[in-house]
Structure 1
Amino acid sequence: MRSPLTAQVSESKILLNTDRAVCLDTGYASAGGVARDEHGQWLFGFNRYLGKCSIFDAKLWAIFEGLKIAQQRGYDTIIILSNCLDAIRALQGSTIGTSNSALIRRIQNILTQENL
């Protein structure tokens, strides 16, 4: 059973902005983002060093990390704001279990667990 505070948090909608940075010379990447409530108030930020990574995978890692933190904090309604159309298409275009990417499958598992 959820406490009243947790129930109140989980009913709110959050906006998740994600981004990544990849050094083209070395391939080293990081991912991060920020979550805000529906009124634009900051809720949390995050970042993660990824090591060598493609630009596409770095964007997926940013989405994954943001969703994971939001899920851990009890948010049920998450709107992902991304400037990477390829990543969104990859997430929408494959069904769970059909993607060759374990990262895409992990993101989809979070989305289906939370009915996002």
Structure 2
Amino acid sequence: MENPFGAQTDSESGSAKSYALMTARGPQNCIESLHHPRPRAATRAGRSGVQSDYGSSKNLETKTPNSCPRKPTRFLTALSWQYPNEGVIKINTDGCRKGEDGHITARGVLRDSSGQWMRGFAVNLGIGQVLEVELWGIYLGLKIAWDIGCSSAVVLESDSATAVHLLNKNVEHFHPLATMLWGCQDYINKNWVCSIHHVYRECNMVADKVAELSSCLELGLSTFQDPSDSIRSFLSEGLLGVCRP
């Protein structure tokens, strides 16, 4: 089947081989195969951290009519993708769950400090839950960034506030996704400056759109060296700072 992303699938990469088990064992078994003997909080003083950040915005005030003095002033907030600091790599990830059967896929985009595409990825996980797929997106985004040599400073943005919150605390052993959370925290705590932020969907449009194009991919991980034409327009909007209410 033709790849809708306009790029060759990196089926021979180490990441793709690592997730070949998905086709036979399913995502839950693959998650359980990540072995981390103890919970680790995603904190390293002066090096890494997980934060909640809603992205830069422009507040456009809309006043209520004089006849309704009791109603508070309301604001329309416009949001857009923001450039990282010089030398920092930004990763945007997103998960998607569709259909009555709960088919899940995760996607992500890596961009440099000038907003240029570095790498994209997609993983078809089969059947699962929303939080599960959001964590897969975060885990794979960090793993790919590390594997391609982004060893200085990395910022990851996710529109899953729950995932970001869980990564900022000690994970209990009885949590159903504990192994997945520990895997993410291990990458956060590697020898680099890494932070994870929650942003609204409007600040995460490229990853969000890539996530929508997942149903035609086979099970497993695919990486993309270049964006497709359908994604380029959203990349351009990010470079221009186009805001969305």
* TM-score > 0.5, shorter chain as reference: yes
TM-score, with normalisation over the residues of structure 2?
A: 0.40
Quick one: distance in 1 between partners of 2:142 and 2:189?
Answer: 12
Residue 24 (structure 1) shift: 4.4
Q: Matches of 2:134 and 2:96 in 1, distance apart?
A: 9
- Which string of whole-angstrom CA distances, capped at 9 and with x for unpartnered residues, describes residues 68-93 of structure 1? 00000111211011111100000012
Instruction: Within 5 Å, give how 1:44-55 maps onto structure 2.
Output: 44-55=119-130
Partner of 2:169 in structure 1?
93
Q: Which has the higher strand share?
A: 1
Distance 1:73 1:114 in 2: 14
Query: Match of 2:98?
Result: 23
Q: State the 1:114 CA deviation.
A: 2.9
Larger proportion of helix:
1
Cα displacement (A) at 1:53: 1.2
Query: SS state of the match for residue 113, structure 1?
Result: coil
SS of the residue corresponding to residue 189 of structure 2 reads: helix
Asked if structure 2 preserves the Cα contact closer than 8 Å seen for 1:16 and 1:78, the reply is yes
Give the percent of matched residue pairs that are identical in Structure 1 and Structure 2: 30
| Secondary structure, aligned partner of 1:43 | strand
- Which of residues 78, 83, 86 is equivalent to 2:159? 83
* Partner in structure 1 of residue 180 of structure 2: 103
Specify the structure having the higher radius of gyration (Cα): 2
Q: Which residue is 2:133 aligned to?
A: 58
Deviations 1:31-50 (A, max 9, x none): 01101001101100000011
Secondary structure of residue in 1 paired with 2:114: coil
Amino acid at match of 2:92: N
Q: How many aligned residue pairs are there?
A: 104
Structure 1: 5+ residue stretches without partners? 1-10
Q: Which residue of 2 aligns with 1:34?
A: 109
Displacement, 1:104? 0.4
Matched, 1:14 2:72: no
